[in-house]
Amino acid sequence: MRIVFFGTPTYAGPSLVQLLEDPTVEVAAVVTQPDKRRGRGSGQLPSPVKQVALEAALPVWQPRRIKRDVGVLAQLRAVAADAFVVVAYGQILSPEILDMPRLGAINAHGSLLPAYRGAAPIQWCLYHGETETGVTTMAMDAGMDTGAMMLKASVPIGLLDNALDLAKTLAELSADLLQQTLQRLQAETVPLTAQDEAQATYAPLIQKEDYVLDWRRPALALHNQVRGFYPNSVTGLRGQPLKVMGTVPLGADYWPQLPEPWQSLPQAVAALRSTDKAPPGEIIGLLKGYGPVVQTGDGWLLLAEVKPSGKRAQAGWDFVNGSRLAMAERLGPTA
């Protein structure tokens, strides 16, 4: 099967690598986003997918606006591809492009469609506290992730999984599922199932205000926000921004879900005194070896990893010692 691969970030890399290793697939070319500027005077940074493509000596096309790039459109037609394969490319493909390949365009989307259509399905499924997600391959149409579904595969989500952890898992799952989909597409045995619009939910682009932690919210909701928008959730301490990169909600409901490195946490938490009257955002405990505990609108939240302004990320207990954090200090807005 002759394909053109469309993709840009690290997430798409495993899919391209696996297709390159498949003797039944010929990757004729790769389409990816233009190189990004790395910084003042530092030149351009190629996308992870471009790096894989260059190592494989593949043609690489990087249109700024693919729908209007006459040259790239002509090249895509000339390839005479059986299918276009799309994984986190980053631009919308026009109906003209979708109609070019003989068997259509196939997308691997990082959710169990029709849930979490859109740009950030991994982040928003964590934010909403889902316990399961997966990958869906679909036949692309002109809508936003609205095409007929082909194959699905699901994975459980652990309590402490963050967006980076889950992206790595789903990237490998996408690679396997795409390979299966192409094989069945060529054999004309792949199913096509229309999505139920009544069940559709959306995962829009993340906005700057989505990163701000409101300590009046429940501990679990804040934990889901931190891991969903990893590593960018932010609060304030002593007038400076503090990124919160890892948290653990505390309480008997969560103990059975803790992985092995955290098995002794319940004993440490048992020594904390009840502070029901503490306002949200107040430090109500300093757990040796773990980090600070924050009162929320409902429950306690352990700060397991933070990144102070201008410094590297550090474990919660290292932050307690390095900053000389004290009981009753308050987290909140920086301004």
> Is residue 290 within a helix (H) or strand (E), and if so which, with residue range?
none
Amino acid at 275: T
Asked if 185 and 138 count as a contact pair (C-beta separation under 8 A), the reply is no
Asked if 296 and 215 count as a contact pair (C-beta separation under 8 A), the reply is yes
Backbone angles phi, psi at 17, to 5 degrees: -60, -45
Asked if 113 and 82 count as a contact pair (C-beta separation under 8 A), the reply is no
Backbone angles phi, psi at 298, to 5 degrees: -160, 100
Judge whether 164 is annotated as a binding position: no
Judge whether 151 is annotated as a binding position: no
Instruction: Kindly state the tokens that stand for 33.
Output: 């986003």
Judge whether 113 is annotated as a binding position: yes
Give the whole-angstrom CA distance, residue 293 versus residue 290: 9
Amino acid at 88: A
Judge whether 114 is annotated as a binding position: yes
Asked if 213 and 222 count as a contact pair (C-beta separation under 8 A), the reply is yes
319 by Cβ neighbours in 10 Å (0-12 / 13-18 / 19+) ranks as buried
The length of the chain is: 335
**Annotated binding-site positions:** 111-114
Task: Mark the binding-site residues for (6S)-5,6,7,8-tetrahydrofolate, compressed into ranges.
Answer: 111-114
